[in-house]
A and B are shown apart, each in its own frame.
Chain A
Amino acid sequence: MSTATVGDLVSQPYKYGFVTDIETDKIAKGLDGDVVRLISAKKSEPPFLLNFRLKAFRQWQQMREPDWAQLGYPAIDYQDMVYYAAPRQQAKKASLDEVDPKLLETFEKLGIPLSEQKRLSNVAVDAVFDSVSIATTFREQLAEHGVIFCSISEAVKEYPDLIEKYLGTVVPGNDNFFAALNSAVFSDGSFVFIPKGVACPMELSTYFRINSGDTGQFERTLIVAEEGASVSYLEGCTAPMFDTNQLHAAVVELVALDDATIKYSTVQNWYAGDENGVGGIYNFVTKRGQCRGDRSKISWTQVETGSAITWKYPSCVLQGEDSVGEFYSVALTNNRQQADTGTKMVHVGPRTRSTIVSKGISAGHSSNSYRGLVQIGPKAQGARNYSQCDSMLIGDQAAANTYPYIRCQQPDAAIEHEASTCRISADQLFYLQSRGIGFEEAISMMVSGFCRDVFNQLPLEFAAEADKLLALKLEGSVG
């Protein structure tokens, strides 16, 4: 019989695993104060930023790597990696024609065409290769609306006042071990500024590509939406297949002033390692948004499919009155992947509201944990939270955990938490098969059905892609 029974299928190879052969400007391995100074000097940064880095570095040296997550991995040797790598080319090019064609080709292969003829018409892209941004599309068109979208290195040079005003105000340099490391050595990332009253006319997107095998990637993203402004931003990422692990420790800060809305979506597809857990990215990311203004709103949507290790809790600090925080997440783990991910909703202001919808899918021998905090402060009268955490198990070797933390100091608050666990059963698969639906399509139908609430939140252009990505990741995973 030719039926693929549960556990029979082989994994789909990771299709972004190629390495671009390009000359790189790399500094020596290891990390000390001089390395931090060297990075800052390479980027000709103003003194305030060097000081920010050095202060964070000193604090990092005093800090310990967190060990509370449901993750197991060998100790990371922070002296055995390169903290700055850039494709060798002159400073950022004025036009795409001057960018090394190899780089353009790399992004094209990843499905992110940057050239004027081919690029997506309604999405502006900042393409980051190892430690630097190589191109940002639609900059001029956006500038006409007063929207700033560029790499953070350029922003440091061109808009130092904005950077000094906002950088490190949501995630301070000493926030946690990985954020401190990032603050000391961050190389590039994106900067978005939407001025008062402007609705950003197109989707903004940053695409991160790790290329070097021994390089850590530490990008930093800062998005500021002034009063009444709104923006939708999407982040994508891939990496080559190496049999070593690469560290990715990013920081994302969002600031929303009165009546502003920021929607931040991530489709994370870093290399996850092979089926035995060799290789893959260690993803330790700090993402936090601050709803500073009244009636402001920050919405996180994430589809986490890659990385060997994921440690990530996109959070909202709801300061402004009536501000809203949202977190929609699909985290899929397969083979030996481990994910400990969730969110923090910190209600400070009165009548603040938050929604958490988390869908964890664990297949193979993977482990998938949701960890979330809902905190209601003493001044948050009338605050409300709704949380829903669903886990789906595929096969009988995978693990799913849920760790909800609730701290409430306001008797007037309402907090709801729903959780469920389900499993794709052989009988469900057989039922769909007996109606002519193929085995893998049957699994993919059930998984996308499970994730629908989250996919509905993604920008339209990416929802279908996320669906496909999940199907691809699950191909052969059922075991």
Chain B
Amino acid sequence: MICPDAPVLLEIRDLQAAVDDQPILKGVNLTIRAGEIHAVMGRNGSGKSTLSKVLAGHPAYTVTGGSVHYRGNDLLDLAPEQRARIGLFLGFQYPVEIPGVSNLEFLRVATNARRSEGGLEELDTFAFEDLVRERLEVVKMDPAFLERSVNEGFSGGEKKRNEILQMALLEPLVAILDETDSGLDIDALRIVAGGVNQLASPENATLLITHYQRLLDLITPDYVHVMAAGRILRSGGRELALELERTGYDWVDQELERFAAEGQQTGRAPLEVG
């Protein structure tokens, strides 16, 4: 839903980041308003997963320039746990397994961390059970998964459902979903996409990071951005995704070369989108 007057939730300006001194993000610009669904597409190595990790505060990535503001406040200054508590959510491409830590307990601690930040009362085990059982519906997940260790022995699809369950419990304002579609069969993809659609509201925003069009058949984005070599190369509406599907990423390479040449001449970042 495009609402030009809706408040800006996330404002990324000329964001540059490196891992092990290797620059990956080379000036990303993106503005996300409440109610919007954005899709960032691109080849492997284009920097789209790095973008999601930098936003969530992964310690392996160093921000080397630019700024990110979340509802007007500097996001990059905050520890990852603090970003989560104020409503930023990252759905992982590969959710890790955490043996020995009960999924239910983990979900409760996480939910309460978010709730107390928002001034809400923490939920005791009973109240939380009620809430979690209700939210399980969103992803049609078997309650048996609550009793297991976090993600341990879960199939790829179950792990992704567990991610969306966390999103349903944490009620983020900005949800970044990193390749949520990877490794899912069509049924699981439908359930996961259905969950994301159900959770989208005029108050929150979703940033989908994806390789393929197939997720966008199920979740309709308001904006599509194509990333290459650490920058957003082109932005448009959903038709851009359809075009990519038709023509592949070859034109991206050509465009990239052209911009590189231009960029050298002018010494400026090649493209500004927002």
Bound form: Cα–Cα A449–B114 in Å:
22
A2–B82 Cα distance when bound, in Å, is 10
7 A-B pairs whose Cβ atoms sit less than 8 Å apart in the complex:
A430-B58, A435-B113, A436-B81, A436-B84, A436-B110, A438-B79, A438-B81
Q: Which residues of chain B are near A435, meaning CB under 8 Å?
A: 81, 84, 106, 110, 113, 166, 170
The stretch of B91-99, B190-198, B201-209 that contacts the partner chain: B91-99
Q: How far is the CB of A456 from chain B (nearest CB, A)?
A: 12
Q: Chain A's nearest CB lies how many Å from the CB of B64?
A: 13
Cα–Cα, bound, A430→B106 (Å)? 14
Q: Chain A's nearest CB lies how many Å from the CB of B125?
A: 15
Is residue B102 within 8 Å, beta carbon to beta carbon, of the partner chain?
yes
- Chain B residues contacting A428 (CB-CB under 8 Å) are 96, 98
B47-101 contacts to A (CB < 8 Å): 56-60, 63, 76-85, 89-90, 92, 95-96, 98-101
Q: Please state if B80 and A3 are interface contacts (CB–CB under 8 Å).
A: yes
Contact partner of B117 among A3, A4, A436, A439, CB < 8 A? Answer: A436
Query: Is the CB of B109 closer than 8 A to any CB of chain A?
Result: yes
User: Cβ of B96: which chain A residues have Cβ within 8 Å of it?
Assistant: 425, 427-428, 431
In the complex, whether A102 has a CB less than 8 A from a CB of chain B is no
A420: nearest residue on chain B (CB-CB)?
B99
Q: Verify if B182 is at the interface (C-beta below 8 Å from A).
A: no
Residue of B nearest to A453 (CB): B100
Whether B59 lies near A437 (C-beta < 8 A) is no
Judging by beta carbons under 8 Å apart, are B59 and A430 in contact?
Answer: yes
Asked whether, in the complex, the Cβ of A432 is within 8 Å of the Cβ of B106, the reply is yes
Interface magnitude class on chain A: 20 to 34
Residues of B within 8 A of A431 (CB): 92, 95-96, 98
Is B220 in contact with chain A by the CB < 8 A criterion? no
| Contact of B98 with A426 in the complex, beta carbons under 8 Å | no
Given A431-B95, A434-B90, decide whether A450 and B80 contact each other with a Cβ distance below 8 A. no
Asked if residues B56 and A434 are in contact (CB atoms below 8 Å), the reply is yes
CA of A450 to CA of B166, assembled, Å? 23
**Is B149 part of the binding interface, using a Cβ–Cβ cutoff of 8 Å?**
yes
What is the 8 Å Cβ interface bit string for chain A, positions 1-40, against chain B (1 contact, 0 not)? 1111110000000000000000000000000000000000
Q: Give the distance to chain B from A394, nearest Cβ to Cβ, in Å.
A: 14
Q: Which residues of A contact B78 (CB under 8 A)?
A: 1-2
| Interface contact A426-B80, CB-CB below 8 Å | no
Contact with B along A425-463 (1 / 0, CB 8 A): 111101111111111010001101111100000000000
Q: A450 is contacted by which of B63, B99, B109, B114 (Cβ under 8 Å)?
A: B99
The answer to whether residues A5 and B99 also contact, given A435-B106, A436-B113, A437-B109 and a CB cut-off of 8 A, is no
Which residues in B have their C-beta under 8 angstroms from that of A451?
100
Pairwise interchain contact B80-A445, C-beta atoms closer than 8 A: no
The reply to whether B110 and A437 contact each other, CB–CB distance below 8 Å, is yes
Residue A422 lies at the interface, judged by CB distance under 8 Å to chain B: yes
Question: Which 5 residue pairs of A and B lie closest in terms of their CB atoms, listed nearest first?
Answer: A449-B100, A436-B113, A435-B110, A436-B84, A433-B80
Interface size bracket, B side: 35 or more
State the Cβ distance, B128 to closest chain A Cβ, in Å: 14
**Interfacial residues, chain B to chain A (CB-CB below 8 A):** 56-60, 63, 76-85, 89-90, 92, 95-96, 98-102, 105-106, 109-110, 113-114, 117, 149, 166, 170
Residues of the B chain whose Cβ atoms lie less than 8 Å from the Cβ of A2: 77-79, 82
Distance of A387 from chain B, by nearest CB (Å): 19
The reply to whether A450 and B56 contact each other, CB–CB distance below 8 Å, is no
Partner of B99, one of A434, A436, A441, A449: A449
| Residue of B56, B59, B96 contacting most chain A CB atoms (<10 Å) | B59
Q: Is the CB of B113 within 8 A of A3?
A: no
A339-353 near B? 1/0 per residue, CB < 8 Å: 000000000000000
Q: What distance in Å separates the Cβ of B218 from its nearest Cβ neighbour in chain A?
A: 25
> In the bound complex, what is the Cα–Cα distance between A436 and B111 (angstroms)?
8
A439 to B79, CA, bound (A): 9
Chain B residues whose C-beta falls within 8 Å of the C-beta of A6 in the assembled complex: 59
Mark each residue of chain A from 123 to 142: 1 if its CB lies under 8 Å from any CB of chain B, else 0. Answer: 00000000000000000000
Max chain A CB contacts within 10 Å: which of B100, B113, B117?
B100
CB distance from A463 to the nearest CB of B (A): 15
CB distance from A444 to the nearest CB of B (A): 10
CA A399 to CA B110, docked complex, whole Å? 32
Residues of A near B59 (CB, < 8 A) are 3, 5-6, 426, 430
Contacting residues, chain B, for A427 (C-beta < 8 A): 96
A365–chain B nearest beta-carbon distance, Å: 22
Q: Which residues of B contact A433 (CB under 8 A)?
A: 57, 79-81, 84
* Bound-state Cα–Cα, A478 to B141, Å: 35
B152 CB → nearest A CB, Å: 10
Do A449 and B98 have beta carbons less than 8 Å apart? yes
* B153 vs chain A, min Cβ distance (A): 15
Contact B166 A426 (CB under 8 A): no
Closest residue to A442 on the B side, CB-wise? B81
Q: Is the CB of A449 within 8 A of B113?
A: no
